[in-house]
Chains A and B, each alone.
Chain A
Amino acid sequence: SSELTQDPAVSVALGQTVRITCQGDSLRSYYGSWYQQKPGQAPVLVIYGKNDRPSGIPDRFSGSSSGDTTSLTITGAQAEDEADYYCNSRDSSGNLVVFGGGTKLTVL
């Protein structure tokens, strides 16, 4: 399969914890990666691999994987975390790249 499925929108109260999920058959073979995109800006990698963060990404961002689902967790969400979040992986063949449809995170 070459599809990754995300919830279109999620909301979280300021300072609370939120989990954004991404589901797809290819995630059984590949770790997903997660990108944050704010309006008018290029996407930024926030989580990759088993649970790795690029330099400069706050440690309130974490990732996990189980079966065909990968998750991005923000522990203690901040106002600046309000953004669109996309998951990404290769497809099961390894030859193509797929994105989830994106999740709009609102911090209340």
Chain B
Amino acid sequence: QVQLQQWGAGLLKPSETLSLTCAVYGESFSDYYWSWMRQPPGKGLEWIGEINHSGSTNYNPSHKSRVTISVDTSKNQFSLKLSSVTAADTAVYYCARTRLYYDSRGYHEFDYWGQGTLVTVSS
């Protein structure tokens, strides 16, 4: 049974760096992408970015200049750093496993999710 467990600081001041880690249990890192999403209070889901086991990344252009996603395959963990946070970055942050594969069309889904971490940015 695949489980994702995430943790990180829940209260930040403006200009600080958000740092979250997601540990993967019950599954190898290979063959998947690993993603971060967020959801501001009362709003919809937003994709932040993803990484695969070899460290190849894709980022949402809206946050690309501030985001770094990294992976530690020895620990089956991946991490998110978001620099220079503001109140607009207040949200519940989720990690998730991404399945991406192709036949005549592409398939993409997030099949396992972490429990979510509320990050509040306030002075």
Q: Which residues of A come within 8 Å of B, CB atoms?
A: 29-31, 33, 35, 37, 42-45, 48-49, 54, 86, 88-90, 94-102
With an 8 Å Cβ cutoff, the count of chain B residues facing the other chain is: 25
Interface residue? B70 (CB, 8 A) = no
Within 8 A of A (CB), among B3-49: 35, 37, 44-47
Instruction: Give Cα distance in the complex from A54 to B99, angstroms.
Output: 13
Instruction: Give Cα distance in the complex from A44 to B37, angstroms.
Output: 13
- Is A95 touching B108 in the complex (CB atoms < 8 A)? no
- In-complex Cβ contact of B47 among A31, A44, A48, A99 (8 A): A99
Instruction: Give Cα distance in the complex from A29 to B50, angstroms.
Output: 20
For residue A95, give the distance in angstroms from its CB to the closest CB of chain B: 5
For residue B62, give the distance in angstroms from its CB to the closest CB of chain A: 10
For residue A44, give the distance in angstroms from its CB to the closest CB of chain B: 8
Within 8 A of A (CB), among B55-113: 58, 60-61, 94, 98-100, 105-111, 113
Chain A residue at smallest Cβ distance from B50: A97
Most chain A beta carbons < 10 A, residue from B99, B100, B110, B111: B110
Return the 9 tightest CB-CB contacts between A and B, nearest first. A33-B109, A48-B109, A30-B106, A97-B47, A42-B113, A102-B44, A99-B45, A90-B108, A101-B44
**Which residues of chain B have C-beta atoms less than 8 A from A29's C-beta?**
105-106
Instruction: Give Cα distance in the complex from A37 to B113, angstroms.
Output: 12
- In-complex Cβ contact of B111 among A48, A99, A101, A102 (8 A): A48
